[in-house]
Amino acid sequence: MKIILGILLALGVLVALVTWLSNKFSGKNKEEAPEEESVNIPTDCCGAHEVCEVEEMLQNPEKIVYFEDEELDRFQGIAANAYSDAQIDEFRDVLYTLKNDEIKMWLISIERRQLELPGILRQEALMLVAEAS
């Protein structure tokens, strides 16, 4: 009985070792965050990249940053309380795909594009910004 347990234990260790080595050399076992898109960081950036972007956006009132949400521009001129449920869901889809540190910039972008964020989403976005702080 001890021999069988010893063999099973040795096989388990061998399988674990082979799996670990296979993943290590094939690159599948990366626990790192997925590579982000290449971003041009100014040479005078302090290292807090997101902070620099927000400050630059605040200092330049004409600058509009899009978050792959150009389709929302068709809602210009619609009042915050006049959106249909489907339209609100379009805004919500964008909001919940943003990183916490992007929400504040997105809200500024929405305002600069002369869009009124649906009222319910404004509350949700502000709560998310407060949670991120």
pLDDT digits (tens, 9 = 90+) for 110-123: 999 999 999 999 99
Lookup: tokens for 80: 């915050």
Predicted TM-score of the model (pTM):
0.56
Give the confidence band of 97 by pLDDT, cuts at 50, 70, 90: very high
Q: What is the pLDDT of residue 39?
A: 44
Using alpha carbons, select from 16, 48, 126 the residue that is nearest to residue 117: 126
